[in-house]
Structure 1
Amino acid sequence: MAASPKLPAFDPADPLGIDDLLEPEDLAVRDTVRSWAADRVLPHIADWYESGELPGIRELARELGGIGALGMSLEGYGCAGASAVQYGLACLELEAADSGIRSLVSVQGSLAMYAIHRFGSEGQRQEWLPRMAGGEVIGCFGLTEPDHGSDPANMRTNAKRDTGGDWVLNGRKMWITNGSVAGVAVVWAQTEEGIRGFVVPTDSPGFSAPEIKHKWSLRASVTSELVLDDVRLPADAVLPEATGLRGPLSCLSHARYGIVWGSMGAARSSFEAAVEYAKSREQFGRAIGGFQLTQAKLADMAVELHKGILLAHHLGRRMDAGRLRPEQVSFGKLNNVREAIDICRTARTILGANGISLEYPVMRHATNLESVLTYEGTVEMHQLVLGKALTGLDAFR
């Protein structure tokens, strides 16, 4: 009788052996981004979060460009051309540091750069994408408005043709990541032809981006309003390949995919903090990690964390194969962000009062995820996307 093969050792950091699914190139990308975040973000993030600032954001953007993290899944124009799984792994590592850092990268690459790459003219691509890939120019994405978040079809921002073919834009956008530090904005507006996207240099007369303060979430992130008062643009500022909501919604689907991975990074960071705390914190004469109720919490957290990573990996492989549907992205965002918040909240209970301190990452991740839960599609919107896909009936209206 043949001897049974020797089983690999159980790895508490990878209990399902998910790393076995990754190629050496995938691991190299993950390790590069993890090392960068450990060096450039983790030593400072608590102070940045407490002060509500992201100092040196332009330098950080250039560094992220230097490691190929900006627009990394796009081809050409100085972009890395990485796989969807590699981009997802990068998002996970960035959000394990802080959701605000992942948002910087996600908005730059999956929204602003993706819109220009997918729907722009060759001239627009050549003008903007190489500099954005290198972090020399930061981009933002103007879709959400003060009164129109989940219902972008009724946006009020408008663009009208003027004499000579110029476009004149008027309107307001709200909750725009990177807005006040951006050199270019992709702005969506109503036109006589339907909703169109425009490439707007932020030094255009009439454009301003006042920063939004007094946030209790995503504090280490630049969030702004975009104000467009008779912003005049040349005829070729419009994205030629996008008419209607198909354009902005496809950009959002690409960005939501990154959130599926990124939310698991925040969850992992909080879970790891809870495990280490449970092994060292003593009550009633022994480490609290030795009590059954604490172990039950840790086991449940580990199950949801690694199920979420498996789901993200599966969706990444589908994206790489050209088979990922928007409904499947909604499935991933709905599940993973909800579970990530629950993991953070459970981790907080293990840390007790220490869980609210910025000495630990748990409360910071939990409050960040409250924003991630609702931006780029609220829970309700993703439930309705899946509900329509399951029943064939539209319940949005």
Structure 2
Amino acid sequence: MILKSLLSFTISMAMMPQVHGGADDITLSRKISKDYRRTLTRDLEQLREMSFSQSADPKTLELLEMNDLNAVSAYQWLRERVSVVIEDTDVTKLKIKAQNYSRYPVNEPAIIEKAMPRPATGNGSKGVTVMSNIGTGLYYAGKTANQLFTLKVKTGFLSSKSYQVVSPRTGIIQIGEGLFMKKYLINSKDELSKANGLGRMSTFFHEARHSDGAGAGIGFFHAVCPTDHDFAGVHACDRNLNGPYTVGAQITKEFIKNCDDCSASEKEKLRLRYLDSINRVLVHTPKVLDSDDMELESLKLQLSTQKTLYEIERITGRITLSTYNKIVDLEQRVLAAAKAADALELIPSTDWNPAPEAVRL
């Protein structure tokens, strides 16, 4: 149960389906459909052959810790963080073995914020998963439960390979149902468009960042978006300046500059993807300080009461829109009152250390 909960944080080959056939290549599970494997292979080959003729943004180079952005360095950055791509299936259906293990690094606990999703009204569309870094989820679940997990992946008709999850850098990525959905394509009229492949690759780079980090920053887990955000209450933002959304945004920016085959319309849609990612990076976090202001303290108490009520409703499976809306309203009033009382501090977000942790067997 703990494994499934933690994982919610949330690419006809030869016998060993790989990209380019070398020892350092990304493996694609044989359980991924033949068409999807072919598409992902084409996407990755496109990255390996891409001409990055335009000078890279210095921010991109610093972010990815590169001296130069080119086809080799881009693919290598991805490959260091992704070993295998597996099919879209429930975690309970994966071939996972566990063994008792307690020699994990002793460091700060991961920063995992508590979600407060808006109650469903029946009018909105259901969100879908595009891609997820299941390797980091498995590593963290194992670290939490003193277990060491090994995932067995089908790589051919009669062959398979086991991946012992000794680090987030084990690099196990799972495709989601949204990755190939027509409505999410950059160019829905031409599924073979280069821009569609670049869109998927930007998601790949985003997920690859989740293979980084240690201690409190392990996995670069997403933050809960604030109540005034488009994705309020869910893990769809970053409270750092070098996380998955920043990585996805910057590589998208480089793709736009260097895609000579992309139409103006395709580039514009890629720009919208870039802006969406940037909008999810929280550059600061408001902190309400202690104060003698009676109005502020009263609002804080009311907010705490409503959050307690929301938690009770969540546990009983009866979250109400009324309680949620009261919380949203009170949070805005608390911030306004804190600002008026000079009791509001904006904590700036910073870069997290991307160096990954690992166990020593």
TM-score when normalising by structure 1: 0.26
Name the structure where helix makes up a greater proportion of residues: 1
- Structure with bigger RCO (C-alpha 8 Å, 6+ apart): 2
TM-score when normalising by structure 2: 0.28
